[in-house]
Structures are given as structure tokens and as C-alpha cells.
A = this chain, B = another copy of it.
Amino acid sequence: MTTGPLTSDTEFVSARRSEIVGIAAELFASKGYANTTVREIADAAGILSGSLYHHFDSKESMIEALLRDFLERIDAQYRRVIAAAADPVDALRELVHAAFGALATDRAAVAVMLNEYNLLVQYPRFAFLHDSVEESERLWVGVLETGMRNGALRADVPAAAVYRFLRDAIWVSVRWYRPDGPQRPDDVAEEYLTVLLSGLATSTTTGRTR
């Protein structure tokens, strides 16, 4: 490594390149990957389209860089909060907060992940998406199952189903969540957790099965 004493041991990428990834991310998030042209990305970056190819060898590698970076950071974050949690319910709470936190700090990346995952994951180049999603599932399901075993969480619904439910409900709220609005990510997380843990019904509700 010849990145000098001030850089970390992670691979060095130019600041300009990271900046362009962020610009592309915003466009991908708002109009979709396929509907975003390299000319639009270049315009937004203040350069010509050809100049993008000094930093990337294709449009695909822009979205790849974006998603690799995001998934790596969210995975590290999940591991951190699980390690620091006192018990499974606490871990679950912190996981939900972490996911909503990502909604604020990485809004564009979450939107791109949500919108383009199904398309991209079909190609070998983006197999890492599938790996990362599976790894997250392993972490969440582990927390849920521990909670079910020790009786803190109800065990009559499969942990994997609960996880899918949660993940989707959280990620998809990127569609309407506005970071400049009145609600902080932690507020939304608490709202979700309230419904998730205690349920919508009151004690007067009859538990009929239809």
C-alpha cells in the first residue's frame, strides 16, 4: 500500500470518484438505473460524459461501487449493535434503529438497492448482492430465534418470515420518508417498534380466526 500515513488500510479511491458515485446514486434513486444516462450523470458532476470513463470503466461499475460500499457498511453496523446489545429484544430494537438510520444517511443507496436488486442479482457480476442479503438475514434471524427460544418473542411465526416482513417494511419506507421532514429516523423506528412488538389490537379486541 502506498496511500500514505493518513489513509486507512481500506483501499484508496480518489475523492472525486466517490463524489461522482454519490451524484450517480441520487440520479439512480430518483429515476432508476436504466433511465439514467451517463450524460446526465456527467452533467450533474459538471463534466462531459466521456470524462466519466477516466474514473469508471462502465456505467455498471458505478452502481457496483455504490452498492458494495453501502452493503459493507450496513453489515458492519449490524454486527456492532448486535455485539453491544444486552438481550435479543434489545438487539432487535437496535437493529431496527440501525436500519432506519441507514435510511437517513444512505437514502439513495437504500432506494437503489430496493429498486434494482431483483434485476441486478441475476448477473454474476452482482452475486455479491445476494451474499450480502443472505448475511444480513443470518444476523437478524439469529437475533429473532434467540429471542423466541428464551421466551421474549412469540415463537408461533417463523423467524425468517418475521425478518422478511421487517426488512421489507423498513426498506420500502424510503419511498415516502423525507429526511427534511419533521420525523427523525429514530422517531419512525420507535413507531414501527411499537406496532411490531405490542401489536395494533387493544385488550378489547376479540381474537377471532376468520
Contacts and interface: CB of A to CB of B under 8 A. Distances in A.
Contacts of A200: 153-154, 157, 162, 196-197, 199
Interface string A176-194: 1000000000000011101
A173 B151 CA distance: 27
Interface residues of A, number: 47
Given A168-B173, A172-B168, A201-B152, A162 B195 contact: yes
Given A168-B175, A176-B164, A210-B93, A199 B199 contact: yes
B210 A190 contact: yes
Nearest to A193: B210
Contacts of A16: none
A35 B209 CA distance: 43
A15 interface: no
A41 B105 CA distance: 39
A205 interface: yes
Interface centre among A169, A204, A206, A209 (most CB of B within 10 A): A169
A94 to B, nearest CB: 8
Contacts of A196: 195, 199-200
